[in-house]
Structures are given as structure tokens and as C-alpha cells.
Structure 1
Amino acid sequence: MDYRETLNLPKTNFPMKANLPVKEPSRLEEWESVNLYQTQRKLRQGAPKFVLHDGPPYANGDIHAGTALNKILKDMINRYWTLAGYDVVYVPGWDTHGLPIEMRALKKLGVSQHQIDPLTLRRECEAVARHYIGVMTEEFQRLGVMGAWQDPYITLTPQYEAAELRVFADLVDNGLIYRDLKAVYWCPHCETALAEGEIEYKTHRSPSIYVAFPVVDDQGLGLPDGTRAVIWTTTPWTIPANVAIALHPELHYDLVDTPEGPLLVAHDLVERVLTVLGVENRGTLKTFVGHDLEGVVARHPYLDRQSPFVLGGHVTAESGTGLVHTAPGHGVEDFEVGRQYGLPVIQPLDDRGRYFKDTPVVAGLFYADANPVVLKTLQTSGALLHAQDYDHQYAYCWRCKNPVIYRATSQWFLSIDRIRETLIEKTYGVNWDPAWGGDRMRSMVSDRNDWCLSRQRVWGLPIPAFYCEDCGHPVLDAELVRRVADIIGREGSNAWWSEPAAHFLPDGYSCSSCGSTSFRQEKDIFDVWMDSGSSQAAVLAEREGLKWPADLVLEGNDQYRGWFQSLLTTGVATRGGAPYQMVLTHGMVLDKSGQEMHKSLGNTIDPLDIVNQYGSDILRLWVATSDFRGDVRISDEILRQLSESYRKIRNTFRFLLGNLHGFDPAHATRGTVSDPLNRWALDRVNRWLEEAREAYRQYHFHTMVHGLLHLMIIDLSSFYLDVIKDRLYTWAPSDPVRVETQRVLFYILGALTRAISPVLVFTAEEVYQEIPRRPEDPSSVHLTTWMDPWEIGYTEEEHGRLERLLGYREVILKALEDLRQQKVIGNSLAGEVHLTIPESDPALTEEDVALLTEMALAAKVTWTAGPELAAVARPTAYLRCERCWRYTPDVNQEGGLCARCQGVLVELQG
């Protein structure tokens, strides 16, 4: 007789080979055909809402590892809260205005911004943005990210633009918007002003120079002839714009006798400066306090211009000379001091960073190219005391990656000063994760200058201001802004470039300054952070089904100075509070050696390449196993390791499914459970489920996954599932313990499938479709909810007993394995063990011994008490049952059956 035909061997259509790259796209098509996201929403109608507000990625290229990390994290969070029974609304967004798209469009057209009319360029920019919205939508969906992909928010749409303008109108109403001449960050390559959030710092090499300014009027202080004030600067190109020298009012300044003549330097810096200059200190002629020198007049080193001494709190004795070259046209502190003293603002550069043609010495030069010319001129005039290269941190444009400058221009600003304290106050009501995020945000707000909103480009939302054609008077009125918002909401912002000012103004509107009715529109556009920052109103407040504030925002840790801050600013300024209840951040993606990924370094990994090789679920598993609050590494080696972990998870599911073949879910009652192993397994799974649920709530996905791997690989596959194979395969199908075991397996399978569904979205669905289900059960795992625990009243005493037996088991298995390695036995079933347990441990009962024998898969276990835990194994004298392969005393002959198998066969033949 072929006893194999009498066994209950596993059967399942769930394959061992995942083949995810092939299967996942088909699954996506299925979900799209049934509109799974909208089905979720309908099922959760009336439930508490959970809103994760999406920070819009920039629509100008394919996704990369960083955007994949970000979107998958968001999706896992959304899917968990859906599983927890919440009505989860996820509206993905796109940031679509701004310079990168404009530059891409210009490159495609093969022209510069000065060679094309604005409307043609804007239409090309929109085409670029919409193309990449389509590309990125497909790529994000391929990662298994679910949301309102058919109805995202896009910052270029008329509806969104109108909402942004209404935010701006509220800012105007609240007295927070003003126009002023100020020194602001300026990118000469992009030809536009920049805000602090668009600046990054890099190591930069500059010419460091010490320059002597001759004193021409000492204001009666008795300075000797030939006295010169020494300044230090790393921007020689700003010397043509010098109009003053700043000193600190409380610092002491020494007039030092040197071979170069009397030199004025801050007392604390004299030795350092003279050492650098390589000149002898012949003694101090006089010492002054800074405020005593106010009003002394020096002369520009080579121009016919005075350079008076002024006082400024920004001057320090930490570096330089303690006397600061002051050019209000090229520095923030310089500008403020200049305004205080009524100094002229000389700003000799055009938008492209070239000197105007009337600038002496450097006319027509690009600012950086002027450095050697200025140095040579200073040297010729005898004013250059020393020059050398100097490496330091310098501001760069984060768009084009080129150095930026300060340039005094007229711009529109949002006053941070007026709301600074409120901004800081409102951060305390936000849950920051990591916790230091709140301190970081408060520090940034404390140090932040007023927000420069103007950008001198074409592709963006226009600032809705007007100028009188006759007197130049600027007009910015909240009601006019709302009127423009209504028009742009109907016609789109291209109308600003295609229609005259009269199209937007009421009939007969006149200038309040001169009475003229002739106006022109402002051509500056908004900073893109104003675009995305207005999403708190345009999306959260105005979209049906959402709510303000959002429960959560999640972006990279670089967004404290970016989107998090622009959301906070517009939210506090217009609605009185932060538009988010929690801010969660992730780090950057690094390569295997810990370097940040950059195309220029050639160390990037395309997430779609990973998906095509391994499948999206492996990429999602990488995200879930990463402690994302810090920087995250990715490499082929890491992905291969994760693939192996995934294989083990998959094989565990395959075992569970195979042993539920033919199981009727109608019998999956949650009655009493009597078998000790089944009770232990239920308790172990329930403990993990509670840990996993808490980990999900805290967004500690790596904790959840590490616990899952231990549960499935160690606790289940290597122990429980291995031990219960005998009862599942060889016992009678109707045996109560076997039936109870299947009920337990059914529960474990259902609970684990749901619990992993936020992470392994495709695999969980594949498993779910193979689980025996009732007609009323949801059609997709992503329509289910978290499974309630099967409470069995498992006591701490039971838990302690099994843990103690598991400890004994480890010692027994080691002894049996040693015997197998010596090739004395083929497997543990052929061995018997004598166990010595510590005398301090409780004595083993007959039930304990029987259970331990089953747990160790041994032929026999005996025991005695002794000084320490030990085990000795030997081959058993029992014969093997030919059906169940156990070695038992009731097998009477070679090839015979044990009494249990004989009884099963009688029942089967029934």
C-alpha cells in the first residue's frame, strides 16, 4: 500500500517563486478596474478621518530613490490607518511652477528666456510639467502607492492658482505684504531673487584680501598723517560698491605704528592681522573705543568717493580686522546699516551679474571675473596689503548649483517680523518626530529674515500688483487681488500675460496718487514655496472630504526650511494656526558606502530598476526595514538580503495556505483551545500583533518588520509549524486536535496577511486571494480591517511553562544535532535523549515529557534533576512507523505501522 496516498499533504496554488515583477502590474490593473481606493472610501464613510497631506514633488523628471522612500512611507501609513478602520483621504500633489521646469523648456526649445515671448514659454512649461505628472503618476502607482491619482492637486491649475491668490489677499489684508528695496539673495545664472529656503551651502574658494582705506578726515581725533583703516573681505568684486566702513561701538581699536604707516585694527586682532600681513608692530600709537570713531571719513582706495566710519552691531572681533567693508548694495547687514545712516545704495550689477557700462575699471565684466581686475587695481593704488585664497562655506542656488550673491533690488516681501512670535508659539502645539524637529523649526523661524516672495521669471503665478503708468505708484489691494483670483480661476494665469491691466481692474479704476487710469501689471511671479505653502488652503481647507489641520505631513528633513515652514507661515498668517498636527521626517538615501546619492557621483539607483528586477514589494520591504528617521542606505547587497528574508516570509505563508486546503471557513469558530502548542502559538501571534499595531501607530515600521521576521522564521517556521507537521499530515482529518490546529492556522494566516498588507501590498493580496473565504468576506485584503485578537485566557503561568520547555528543547536539539553530524542517526526522529534539568526547576510531569518529546521531534525523552541543564542523545531502539516515520515502541516489525496510524487507516477506510 502507498501510505503517501493516505497523508494530508499540503496543497496550494500559491507558488514558492514570487515572480513579482511580472505579477504586480496585473494586480495593479485589477485594483484599477474595481477602483479600489474609492471602494475603500465608501466602506469607511462616516468613520473618523485620517489625512496625510502630501508634500508635492517637483514635476520635472522621473522618480528617484528619495522620492520612492517618501511615497512608500506615506502609503504604508495611509494603508495602516485604513486597516485600523479610518476614512483615509490621500490626495497626491505636484509642484509645477518654477525655474527647473522653465530651464528644461528653454533647453527643449533651444532658446534663452530673452529670445521667446512669455506665453509661448509658459505653454511649453505647462506641457513639460504635465508630461512628468503623467510619468511620475505611473511610477508611483507601480510602487503600489494608492490614492486619488485621477484627481490630484496641481499647482498650475486655475482652481489652485485662484486659491493661492485668495491666501495672498488675506496676507495683504493682514498687513503682512510690502514692497521694498533690500539686499536679497540673487542668482545671476537664473536671473532671479531667491529666498533663504532656496539656498544651500558648499565649500567655496574665494580671494581673501586686506585693503587699506586712507583716512581723510579724522574729526579732530588727532590721527597722524597717513593713517589707514584696514578692512578684510572675501568678495573683492564688491569693492566698487563700497560707501562706508563699519565698526562695533564697544570694541577697542588700536592705531598701530608699522612700516606700512599707521594702521587702524581692532585691538583683539592686531597680532593676528599683522602676522598675516607680514609687517612689524612698532607699538600702539593710540587706542579708541568704536563709538569714538563714528564720523571719521576715509577715502575709497581707488575711486573718488568718501567712505565714512559708521557703527554696527554685526561687527565682531572673531575674524577679519574688526572694521567691515560696507556695500549696502551687496549685503543684508550692510543694507540695514546704510539705511540707518542714509548711505547711498550702489548696486552696479545687472540681472545677469554683469557690471553696468558706467562702472569704472570693471565695466561689462561678470562679477566673479572682476576679482583679479579689482585686486590689480588695488595693488596699483598701493591699497592692497595682502591677498590669498580662502576656503569657506558659501551660499549656492539649490536649483542651478552656482554661487549666489547679495544684490539690492526692489522686491515684494512677507513680513516675518510681525508674526515671528506667533509662528514660534504655534509650533508648540505640533507633534514633532523626531522630537528635535520642533527646536529646529523654532530656531529657523527665530533667525529668519522677511520672506522675499518675488521671482523675476516667467513660469509661475504672477504677483497681482499694478503700477501706475504715469507716476509709477504701486497698487496692491486685497479686494483687487480677490478680483484677479476670480478671473484667473476662470481663465488661468496665462491671462495675466495675454490681457492688459484693464482686464483685471474695475471700470474707471484710478491711481490714488495721481488720478491716472493707465496701469501696467507686475511681471514678477511668486516664489514656488508660496505655491506649495498655499496647499494648506487650496487643498486641506477647500477640497471636499479633507480637513484642516492635516493629521500628518511627512517629508525629508530638508523641508524644515522649505515646505514645513511655508505651510506654517501661510497657515498661521491667514488661519491663526499650524496646518498640521504632526510633522514626521525622514533622512536622505545613501549608497552602500554612506555617500548621499547624486547623478554626478554615478552612485544613484533607479527605483524602477529595482522594481523590474526584484518587484515593488522588495523595495517596500527596504523602506519598512529602514530606520528612516536617519539617513538610509541602499545597495544591491541590501536588496539581495531583503529578497532572502522575503522568500522566508513567502514560504511561511505557503505552508499555512497548503495546510488549509479544503478548510471550510464556516468552521473557523473561536472557541476554546486546549492543545498547549496551539495555545502558545496563539499567544505568541497575539503578542506580536499588539506590538506591531503599536509600532504602526508610532511609525516604527522597522520594529514591526523585525518582529515579523522573528515570528515567522523562528517562532513559526523553525518551531511551531515544524512540530505540528506530524499532526497535520498524519492524523485523521477529523481528529479534534488537528481540527483545532487548522482553526489556529486559519486565524494566524488571516491576522498576518492583514498585518503585513500596508508593507507587502502585492504579496498580501496574493495570499488573501488563496485563503478560504466566505461569500460575505471582503474581496481584497485592502478592504479588510485589523483582525481582533483571539482571546484564550493564556496565563503567565502557561507562558512561563512553555518558555521553560523551549529552553530545554534547545539543549535537546543540540545533542541530537551532534549525533546527526556524527552520522549516528539520520534525523532527530531516530534519537532519544536523557535530559538533566537544574534541581531548582520544577519537576517535569508526564504531560511535560510528552510535550517536550513532540517539541523536539525525538523518539523519546527521559529526565532527571541535576546541578545544571544538560542533555545526552543516543540512537533509539524503537522501529520506524512506515507511514508517519516516527520511531515508537508500538511498531512491532520492520515496515510496520504504529498504533495511531493503524487507527487512522481504519477510519479512512471506514
Structure 2
Amino acid sequence: MCADTPETTAPDYKSTLNLPQTEFPMRAGLPKREPEWLERWEKIGVYDRLRDKAEATPRPPFTLHDGPPYANGHLHIGHALNKILKDMVVRSQQMMGRDARYIPGWDCHGLPIEWKIEEQYRQKGKNKDEVPVVELRQECRAFAEKWVDIQREEFKRLGVTGNWDDPYLTMNFHAEAVIAEEFMKFLMNGTLYQGSKPVMWSVVEKTALAEAEVEYHEHQSHTIWVKFPVIRSVDATGARQSLRGVNVVIWTTTPWTIPSNRAVAFNPELSYGLYEVTAAPEENWAKVGDKYLLADNLAGEVMKAARVDGFERLQDVTAEQLDLMVCAHPFREIEGGEGEWDYDVPLLPGAHVTDEAGTGFVHTAPSHGADDYILGVRHGLKMTYNVLEDGSFRPDLPLFGGAVIFDHKGKEKDANKRVIEAMSGVGALIARGRVKHSYPHSWRSKAPLIFRNTPQWFAAIDREVGDGQDEYGKTIRARALKCIDEMVQWTPPSGRNRIHSMIEARPDWVLSRQRAWGVPLTCFVKKGALPDDPEFLLRDPAVNARIVAAFDAEGADAWYAEGAKARFLGNEYDPDAYEQVFDVLDVWFDSGSTHAFVLRDRADGTEDGIADLYLEGTDQHRGWFHSSMLQSCGTNGRAPYRGVLTHGFTLDEKGNKMSKSLGNTILPEQVVKQYGADILRLWVAQTDYTADQRIGPEILKGVADSYRRLRNTMRFLLGSLGDLDTVTPVAPEDMPPLERWVLHRLSELDEAVRAGYAAYDFQGVFQKVFNFATVDLSAFYFDIRKDSLYCDADDSLFRRSALTVLDTLFQRLTTWLAPILPFTMEEVWLERYPGEDSSVHLQDMPATPTDWQVPDLAALVERVRAVRRVVTAALEVQRRDKVIGSSLEAAPVVHVEDASLVALLRTVNFADICIASQLTLVEGTAPDGAFTLDEVKGVGVVFALAEGEKCQRCWKILPDVGTHAHPGTCQRCNDALG
């Protein structure tokens, strides 16, 4: 009888096999089934039961403090990435033995929400300024409440666990009370002050913006080269004669700031010269004989821009000479100027000046630039207040009163044009043009911003904090920098350098915003007093306590109620003697204060008010990480977190930024509807989140394929474990080598998984577990052992050992993967443990003994696997050429040069390992024509067909088939049948 011809007279032995039996489907159907598990988790109260479990048996706490998203729209893919990462942290920490608490939260105040209400007003033709402030605030509150509810359901749909029934909201009354209380700590500790300095200002939103609210886009600006006539040198003999006709030339992209000029800056480290125009067209602004002071590296570019045909360098000009020079403002004695600009303009040294672009001299308007302001303070320059909140010049400014820089839609108007025309009229220009460059814009209105000098409230970060909490330093900056270096673990480590450099160089914190929706700056100033007067700010603990109590009971709207001033000041102060401040706090102060009303005040917070981890995108080094650090250092003397984890941004498949206009956005809702949340979570786990990630249809298809392979592994486990309860487990030391090797790998992997989760390396954890499941298990161990599982006698050592190992694998794979794939691992778990209160998420990762590790045995198995690869590759060639249909039809002859390796292979059933019916081992060099693999030296395979008949039970082809009591069986199957 041919080897592949079945014995037709033999009975059907299929019912005698232990074939896999499971209702676990290969098709997951996640979009439909995941909501069922969400309902189940809510019904049995998984999160609350874990808290009860920790209370009954104390566990070390772990708190990830949630950075609050704005409650103002549907989730985007960045939200999903962030919340899924947080969930993986919380779940993995919980399953590793911690009491991992997670309180989701929302930012509810601030411009993003107020702006939405204003848009609604504009659509209705309604003027926001005519709406009572409390009414506007109530509409903002209702808007935020609506989006909190929507986003909560969207986050839960992603499988994110947490205290969803009691999240924190910055607009809750207690939160508003604490935010005000935290602000008043700055009031009381001496770091709060009112100052006048330039801040990023949105004329569209009519408010100051924090750095974190600014984004940079390409913008076309005017460029002008302007002459500042040198009128004298302070004390140099003969200076008037030598400087006659000499002009310092500046270049600027903001002509509208020229009316506010107070100085010109130069860099003493640069090389400067005096240049004379020798040839130029008659109609040119730059005339023959004109003399310009310029940085040597930029002189040629300036002359080119001025269309000068010839010029000559007359002499060196030293820093000492420049330091003594005084210029006239270009508008000095201009007709109609009314003396506005008839003041001296000194040349001042400034390290911010470079010779990379421009002229080597920088026009300095202290009211309209950060470096300009610093230079102005250093040298006592006068501040100007020429620009109003709507982007227009003050009405009484000569020549330019009422001119507008940008209008309420962010469009450029007439201010630049009128200033340029005026300078042209007085002969102050030598060139003009346009330039496209990166320019600050509001991240909400997308309109360009201006630097504008306004009275604002600041927290002084270099002033000693009078609170006695000096462990990390005496000033906010010193405390923050020391905490960054000594208290906080940064993941990735580059985050430390990023935030350190930002805080090291940052100016004082602008706390105030000229808006309505937020927590007001709860302070009073004495009428008639100047900001540097000790009585300017009212500092009274009793007043502060009344404010906090009112806010706790009524919310921050109490500040705007009729009679609020008298109520809070009480009988001790005359209300008519004080002004009530109505600016609202920067929303970053709100979110920066969350540690106080979440970590400190809640029963499920932390004992010391410090979080184990803050986790947000890398942009939050200048946002929430930054403001939280400053706020806590100002009120608690140290950071509010021990660890900070950051992720990058999400791009499309080609690496482009997602935008609706490009049509390349991937919405979480779409992915969940098509694939299920676990596929989105698996995408997160497979990416290096510390860098920018890519996502798109093809990438998601690849993720789904990985998922299917992993699901197949779990399905095999479930199908094979059906009769585990009917067999006696085998102790590790009594198991065959292959099972002991699997336990060795499990023990190694357990260490790697725990270390990976502890380091938040989800990509590393998943790759290790996935490779183990698909390569070590599915493609190797399961492939070999399914024969024993299906065909061996129920009480055989091989089968009992394999089942013992499968159960061990099940307990670990489900708990290792549950933080990443919570829905799927719940489905797998319930397939085995379907109890009403059963859940994998109530389990811990089981302890895995280190004494399972047998490195010597593992090394031997790896040698066996290497030889197996040659054999299976050789058989695959025969299968491809249709010589055989199954590897069980083969009886390969394996030539191995290494005698010790041959001896090793003879200690195991190498034919079973290669899934061949028969196999011959030969010590020595393989003959010519034998199959070999370059990467496995000294091994060759000669193909041969198996001899005998096919066992009708196990399908092996063996010579003894048909010689036993049970027709058509081999010895092993005959014995199994009894």
C-alpha cells in the first residue's frame, strides 16, 4: 500500500483524539463585542473592586496624575495615544502588585471654551461685551459639561480604566476654591506683583497668551532698513565733526514698532565698520555720499538690498566708540509729530544681536519685544503704551493715531503702511521689501500675534519665596531646576534637558488674562498706591479665607456677584479704598494647581500630594509639566511629580502632520468602528511613542495582522486546555527537556516584562511577548507538541507535561497582555473562567520562579532548533515541488559534523521535533547535493520518503502500522486506545 493511501478498512479514530475544542472565535468581531465587555466591567465594578482589594490587603500605591484635556470637542488621535498610554501604565502597575489609581480630569476654564461661546454669539449677531459676565460664564460652564460627558464616553470606549464616576474638573466649586487659594499663596509669599512688560498678545481674542498657547506658522512681513542719524558721542573730543552725516542702519520686520523705539542695540563681540556709498542710481533712497555704520559680515547684503552699485569701507568702528554714540529717532522733528519723538536714542550693548541677518544693529522698542524689554530694564529706558488691546494705536498718537496692526479677524491693516510711508517721507529708509518667515500665531484663532506692553500680574521666579520651604532652594526658579535634576525621573532622559533649558531661561510667569471664563485673580489693590508701594496689594488671611469659603460653596461666580467686594473685605476695610481685580488666571495656572485639589485633597489622592507619574506629549515641557512645576515650587517648595513620561506627535503614513485640509486625519472613532479599540491600542504598543508615530490604513492593516497571529496563539491554548482538570500536573523537574525549556523562557520573559512595564517600555514588552507567542510557541513548541496533545494517551508524561505548561502559559500571557489588549484578554480569560464576577483585570501577574531558569538546557535547545531549521527548510523545498504533501511523509537523513551535537540530538526524539515520521542521524560531513543553510554550519539534509503505512489515527508513516490489535494504527496509537 502506498504511504499516502489511507487504510479504508480501519475504523474512524477521530473521536479518540484529544483535538482542540473551544468556542473562542478566530474572527474577533471587536467593534461589536467590546461595548459588551465595557458594560460588564461597569456592572461588576472592576475599578472599585481593585480599590477594595488594596484596602483589604495593603499594596504600594501608584498614582498617575491625569493631565487635563480641554472639554471642547471630539477626541483626535493624539488624545487616544495619550489616554491609551496612561491606561497601559495604570493597568500594568496594578497587575504587578501596586494599588494603581487613576482619576481622569478636564480643563474647563480658559480661552478655548470662551472662544467657542463667542463664535456662537457671532453667528447670532450677538455682542459678547454686552452679555452679563455671569451669564457668559454659565454658558461656558454648560458647554464644558456637555463635552466632558461626550469625551468621557469616548475615552471609556478605548478601554481606559479609571474613576470615571468621579473625575476632577477645574470648574468644580472646590477646584475653583483651591485654585484661588493657591493663587493667594503667591500673594502672601511675596512673589506676586503687577508689572508692565511686553507679552504675546492676541488682538483677535483680546488677551495675553502663554508661550504654550502660541504656535508658529509662515507669515509674510514687511521688511525695512531704517537710518538712525548719529547726533553725538557722549564725551569724545571732536565727535560732532567725525560723526556728521553718519547713520546707524537697522532692519526690522515689524515697522509698526518704530514709533515705540527707545534705543539701538549692538553686540560688542561683532566686527563693525563705517561704509560710504560711492555709486547708486539717482532715484535711489541710498544716495552717493551716505555713510552707514554696519556689521562687516552684513554690509554687502545691506548694500545689495539698497540697490547700491558701489561702496567703500572707510574705517573700523570699535565697541567702545559705539557705546558712546547717541542717535536721533527717525521721526525727530517730523512735521505733525508734536515733539513725540524728539528724544535721544542711545546705542546699547546687547548679546542678543547677531550678524546672521539684518545689519548688526537691532532697533529696540522695550514695549514690544522680550530682548528689548530686558535691555530697557537694564538701562532704564522708558516704556510706551502706544498699542491698545484691539491692535490699534492710541487715538492721540501723532500721525498714527487709530492705525490698526491686525484687525479682529487677524488680517493686516494700515499701521505698517502708514509708518513706512512716514519714514519714506522724512528720508529715513534705504530699502524695503517683504519676507516670509516663522511668526507667532494663536493656537486657537490661528491669527498672528503681537508683542504688546500691558499691565499684567506676574509671579516672580527669582524673588525669594517667603514660605520657609527651602529644601530645594529659596526661589521658584532655583527650586524648579534642582527638582528637575534631583527629584524627577525623566522618560526619555532628553526631557530633562528640554525643560531645564526652558526654566533656566524663562522670564517671570504672566498669571493674568483679560478674559471672563476662569478663576479670577482674587486680590485687591489700594487705590492711589503704586505697584512698588508695600500697601499696594492687600494681604490679609481673613479676607483670603472668606474668598475660599465662598468659592467652595458657590464657585468662582461669587467674585462677580453684587456686593462681592464689601463681602470679602469685611468690616475691616473700606470698599471704596480698594480696587477689585477682574482679570482671570492663566488657564495653565488652573491645570498647574490640579495637584492640590486632586492629589492632596481627594481620598483617592496621595499621602504626600505628589504623583508617581505625569504623562503627556513632549509639547507639555512648555505646558503642563512646566506650569505644574512652577506652581508647586511656589506653593509647596518642590515638584508635584516624581516621574515624567513624554510621547511624540502622531503623523500620517508618509510622515506628514495631520490636517483636515489635507484629508489625512485618522480619527479614533473611525479606527474603533472598523477594527476595534484593541487594534488601536496594539498600534500604540507597537510604536516607539517617545518619537513621532505614524498611522494610516496600511499601518493599521499590519497591526490587525499581528493581532490575528496573537489571537491564533491564544485560541490554540484555549482549545488544548479543555480537559486540564482530568490530568495530574507534572512538577517542572519531572518534565521533558522541551517543557523545561518553555518554563525557562517564561521565567526569563517574566523578568523582561516586569522590567519593561516598570520602564514604560510597552513596545519592548509587546515585541518580546509577541515573538515568544508566535515564534517560540506557535511555530516551534505548539507545532511539535500538538501531536502529543492530540494523540498520546491521556496519562502520558509528554501530554500531562504539555498541559501543565499550557496552563502556566495561559496564566502569564493573559495577564502580561491585559494592559495592552484589555478586551481580548478578557475574552480569553472568560472562555476559561466564565464566572459572573470573573475578570482578568482583577488578577495580578503570577509570580514566576527564577529557579525555572536552566541556561545550560536552554543553550542545548537552541542548538537543536538550529538543526531543526535546516531540516524543515529542506522539507519545505520538497513540499513546494509537490514531492510530498506533508512533512510526515518524509524520512530525512541528517548529517551533522559535530559529534557532541549528534549525541545531543539522539537524546531527544528529533523526528518528532522535526515533525517527520522517521529521521536518521549521521555523524560526519554531508554528501554533495545535500540541503544546507549558510547560517547553520556543519549540517546537511538528504531527503528520503518515509517507509511503511500511514497510521489512521496520528498520520505518521511507520513500518509497524497495521501490525497491532487496533487496525491501521502505530504502536503509540494502539497503546493509547487500550
TM-score normalized by structure 1?
A: 0.94
Secondary structure of the corresponding residue to residue 653 of structure 2: coil
Q: In the alignment, what sits opposite 2:368?
A: 330
Asked if 1:30 is matched to 2:40, the reply is yes
Q: 1 CA distance for matches of 2:725 and 2:814?
A: 18
1:346–1:16 distance in 2 versus 1, CA, 3 Å = same
Contact 1:184–1:406 at 8 Å: present in 2 too?
Answer: yes
Closer, same or farther: CA 216–858 of 1 in aligned 2, 3 Å: closer
| Equivalent residue number for residue 517 of structure 2 | 459
Kept in 1, the 8 Å contact 2:137–2:517? The answer is yes
Shift of 1:51: 0.6
Q: Deviations over 1:464-521 (max 9, x none)?
A: 122446778853425233431221111111111223343442333336xxxx744442
What amino acid maps onto 2:485 in structure 1? Y
Out of 822, 825, 828, which is 2:887 matched to?
A: 828
Other-structure match for 1:422: 479
1:3 equivalent to 2:13? Answer: yes
231-240 vs 54-63, which deviates more?
231-240
> How far apart in 2 are the matches of 1:823 and 1:509?
101
Alpha-carbon distance in structure 1 between the residues aligned to 2:886 and 2:746: 29
Letter in 2 for 1:34: I
Secondary structure of the residue aligned to 1:712 is helix
1:273 to 290, 302, 315: 302
Matched position secondary structure for 1:306? coil
Q: Unpaired runs of 5+ in structure 1?
A: none
CA contact (8 A) 2:745 2:853 kept: no
Residues 262, 289 of structure 1: alpha-carbon distance in 2 compared, 3 angstrom cutoff: farther
Q: 1:666-705, aligned counterparts within 5 Å?
A: 670=731, 672-705=733-766
Aligned counterparts, 1:739-818, within 5 A: 739-771=800-832, 779-789=838-848, 793-818=852-877
- The offset of 1:423, in angstroms, is 1.6
Correspondence 1:150 to 2:144: no
CA 665–112 in structure 1, closer or farther in 2 if over 3 Å, else same:
farther
Matched, 1:388 2:433: yes
Q: Given the superposition, is the C-alpha separation of residues 578 and 467 from structure 1 closer, same or farther in structure 2, using an over 3 Å criterion?
A: closer
CA distance in 2, matches of 1:762, 1:177: 50
Q: CA contact under 8 A between 1:626 and 1:632: conserved in structure 2? A: yes
Counterpart CA distance in 2 for 1:426 and 1:806 is 51
Q: 1:524 to 1:189 in 2, by over 3 A?
A: same
Matched residue SS, 1:641: helix
1:905 matched to 2:965? The reply is: no
**Match of residue 320, structure 1, among 341, 358, 366:** 358
Q: Distance in 1 between matches of 2:271 and 2:876?
A: 83
Structure 2 residue 567 is matched with structure 1 residue 549: no
Counterpart among 340, 354, 357 of residue 395 in structure 2? 357
Q: Equivalent residue for 2:587?
A: 528
Cα pair distance change 1:359/1:89, threshold 3 Å: same
Cα distance in structure 2, aligned partners of 1:820 and 1:283: 85
Q: Which stretch has the larger CA shift, 228-237 or 730-739?
A: 730-739
2:230/2:325 contact within 8 Å kept: no
| Root mean square deviation, CA, Å | 2.4
Contact 1:529-1:566 at 8 Å conserved across structures: yes
Shift of 1:736: 3.5
**2:87 paired residue number:** 75
Identify the residue that residue 662 of structure 1 maps to in structure 2: 723
- Work out the CA distance in 1 between the residues paired with 2:364 and 2:801: 86
Moved more, 452-461 or 536-545: 536-545
Give distance in 1, aligned partners of 2:942 and 2:69: 64
User: 1:256 Cα shift?
Assistant: 3.5
Q: Kindly state the Cα deviation for residue 549 of structure 1 after the two structures are TM-superposed.
A: 1.7
Q: Aligned pair in 2 of structure 1 residues 250, 26: CA closer, same or farther (>3 Å)?
A: closer
CA distance in 2, matches of 1:187, 1:531: 20
Deviations 1:647-685 (A, max 9, x none): 111111111111111332895575643222222222223
> 1: CA distance between counterparts of 2:889 and 2:613?
58
What SS is found at the alignment partner of 1:222?
Answer: helix
What SS class does the counterpart of residue 744 from structure 2 fall into?
helix
1:481 aligned residue: 544
One-letter amino acid of the counterpart of residue 682, structure 1: L
Written as runs of structure 1 = structure 2, the 5 A alignment for 1:374-385 is 374-385=419-430
Q: Is the 8 A contact 1:250 1:290 kept in 2?
A: no
Residue 876 of structure 1 corresponds to which residue in structure 2? 946
1:261–1:811: structure 2 CA closer, same or farther, 3 Å change rule?
same
Which stretch has the larger CA shift, 85-94 or 204-213?
Answer: 204-213
Alignment of 1:101-500 (within 5 A): 101-109=113-121, 110=124, 111-216=126-231, 221-223=239-241, 225-248=244-267, 254-258=273-277, 259-268=287-296, 269-279=298-308, 280-284=310-314, 287=317, 289-290=319-320, 294=324, 296-301=326-331, 302=334, 303=337, 304=339, 305-310=341-346, 311-314=348-351, 316-318=353-355, 319-367=357-405, 368-369=412-413, 370-418=415-463, 419=475, 420-429=477-486, 430-468=488-526, 474-477=536-539, 479=541, 480-500=543-563
Preserved contact between residue 230 and residue 263 of structure 1 (Cα < 8 Å): no
- Corresponding position of 1:44: 54
What is the CA-CA distance between 1:756 and the residue it aligns to? Answer: 0.5
Amino acid at match of 2:67: G
Paired residue type of 1:475: L
AA at the equivalent of 2:344: P
Check conservation: 1:212, 1:228, Cα contact below 8 A: yes
Task: Give, as a single letter, the amino acid of the residue that structure 1 aligns with 2:508.
Answer: D
1:247–1:322 Cα contact (<8 Å) kept: yes
Quick one: which of 558, 569, 572 aligns to 1:506? Answer: 569
1:517-666 pair list within 5 angstroms: 517-547=576-606, 548-664=609-725
Long gaps (5+) in structure 2: 1-10, 278-286, 406-411, 464-474, 926-937
Q: What is the CA–CA distance in structure 1 between the aligned matches of 2:254 and 2:62, rounded to whole Å?
A: 52
- How far apart, CA to CA, are the structure 2 residues paired with 1:261 and 1:168? 61
The AA in structure 2 aligned to 1:570 is: Q
CA gap 1:622/1:293 in 2 versus in 1, 3 angstroms: closer
Asked whether the equivalents of residues 896 and 921 of structure 2 are also in contact (C-alpha less than 8 Å), the reply is yes
SS at structure 1 position matched to 2:760 = coil
User: CA offset at residue 792 of structure 1?
Assistant: 6.4
TM-score normalised by L of structure 2: 0.88
- The percentage of aligned residue pairs carrying the same residue is 39
2: CA distance, partners of 1:662 / 1:286: 96
Of 650-659 and 615-624, deviating more is: 650-659
Partner-residue secondary structure (3-state), 2:22? coil
Q: Identify if the C-alpha distance between structure 1 residues 193 and 645 changes in structure 2 by more than 3 Å, giving closer, same or farther.
A: same
1:693-732 alignment runs, 5 A limit: 693-732=754-793
Q: Distance in 1 between matches of 2:924 and 2:211?
A: 74
Code of the residue aligned with 1:426 in structure 2: it is: C
Q: What is the distance in 1 between the residues matched to 2:649 and 2:91?
A: 23
Deviations 1:359-415 (A, max 9, x none): 333332321422122222222222111011123332222232222111111100011
SS of residue in 1 equivalent to 2:251: strand
What amino acid is aligned across from residue 61 of structure 1 in structure 2?
A: G
The AA in structure 2 aligned to 1:431 is Q
Residue 845 (structure 1) shift: 5.8
Which portions of structure 1, spanning 4 or more consecutive aligned residues, are displaced by more than 6 angstroms? 249-252, 470-473
Distance 1:527 1:665 in 2: 67
Q: Which amino acid letter does the alignment assign opposite residue 525 of structure 1?
A: V
AA paired with 1:588? F
8 A contact 1:837–1:870 mirrored in 2 = yes
| Number of residue pairs aligned between Structure 1 and Structure 2 | 899
Instruction: Tell me which moved more, 421-430 or 362-371.
Output: 362-371
Q: Read off the aligned partner of 1:9 and give its amino acid letter.
A: L
Residues 250-259 or 743-752, more deviating: 250-259
Structure 1: distance between partners of 2:657 and 2:537: 47
Deviating more after overlay: 240-249 vs 879-888: 240-249
Q: Counterparts of 1:251 and 1:897 in 2: how far apart (Å)?
A: 96
Change (3 A) 1:471 1:707: closer
1:28 is displaced (CA, Å) by 0.4
Q: Is the 8 A contact 1:663 1:772 kept in 2?
A: no
- Distance in 2 (CA, whole Å) between partners of 1:100 and 1:852 is 68
